[in-house]
Amino acid sequence: MRERQKVSVIGAGNVGASLAQLLAQSGLCDIMLFDIAEGMPQGKALDLAEACPLWGSSSAVKGTNGLADTKGSSVIVITAGLARKPGMSRDDLLLANARIVGGIAEKIPALSPDAVIIAVTNPMDVMAQLVREKTGFPSQRVVGMGGVLDSARLRAFIAAEAGVAPGDVQAIVMGGHGNQMVPVESLMTVKGIPARSFLGGEKIQAIIGRTRNGGAEIVSLLKTGSAYYAPAASGFEMVKAVLLDEKKVLPCAVYLEGQYGASGVYAGVPVVLGKAGVEKIIEVPLLPEEAAAFDRSVSAVRSLLSKLKNN
């Protein structure tokens, strides 16, 4: 009998716990929920375990304060870190979250040497690069989540404005997971039909602006926290692609080595995601203004990397 795969979620806050719920409901794997807060991951894991009979799920869900319990994970999702508050950008979290994520990442190789790692903590592109450096893992096995989330937000906004089903909308957001992200208008379609057939240029530009501000919009409404349902769903989409070897095309933050004219930096681009992690980076033609916007976004990520290295 094949042993069930294990997914460890690092950080049992809103994003981590919501992701653990989606994984438990799916029955795809066993889940280890880690957090440094005593009792919190254990309590949330027990609550989820008690819901599994109602979901018809055979997943085992456990909580822990010890990273050693994550040993043997197929996938590790890092959500640990400080969340944004009103008035904060993702970049404001840089130094504090780098200490948290870096400390966790350096312990992973001894425990789960074959794991695929998904970085969710902000600023996500920089955290993914930090995880790669601290673990020494091949870049294919360290991937960032932001593009899936940003693209989902873009698709939701297009669907709402065009009056169509969200699932019929296809769109890709590239670049860094920050204010200079690049929603690619030339790739926005509804069942293969260009989005401009449904929406005027001004409306599309407004949607692009709202997408760039999507996380901050939620932070301003919540006032005491940041988004977690859509980030958790985005993480689940990626975990599922790895566990089931789906070869799914998703926009993810990956280490670029010449693709799109960028090297030595993580940024969001379309990839094929499967059991080995990033199995292929897809290069799509961009309009000149889109390529220029992508370059600016990558430059913003590089500036954060420099800031991190100088502190």
Give, in order, the Cα–Cα distances in Å from 295 to each of 124, 142, 206, 253, 290: 18, 22, 22, 15, 9
Specify the CATH number for the domain of residue 118: 3.40.50.720
When the pLDDT of each residue in the chain is averaged and rounded to a whole number, the result is 95
105 — pLDDT class (breaks 50, 70, 90):
very high
The set of catalytic residues is 177
- Residues 215-229: tens digit of each pLDDT: 999 999 998 888 999
Residue 1, pLDDT above cutoff 70: no
Whether residues 142 and 196 fall in one domain = no
Residue 32, pLDDT above cutoff 50: yes
Whether residues 182 and 248 fall in one domain = yes
Element (H, E) at 62: strand 61-64
Dig out the tokens for 137 from the structure.
């893992």
Whether residues 211 and 75 fall in one domain = no
Asked which of 146, 172, 188 is the last residue of a domain, the reply is: 146
Asked which of 113, 146, 179 is the last residue of a domain, the reply is: 146
Number of domains in the chain: 2
pLDDT, residue 93, reads 82
Whether residues 163 and 282 fall in one domain = yes
Whether residues 164 and 120 fall in one domain = no
What's the CA gap between 297 and 294, in Å, rounded? Answer: 5
Asked which of 146, 175, 201 is the last residue of a domain, the reply is: 146
Question: Phi and psi for 136 in degrees, rounded to 5?
Answer: 75, 10
Q: Which residue has the higher pLDDT, 84 or 237?
A: 237
Residue 88, pLDDT above cutoff 70: no
Range of the domain at 135: 6-146
**Does 119 fall in a domain?**
yes
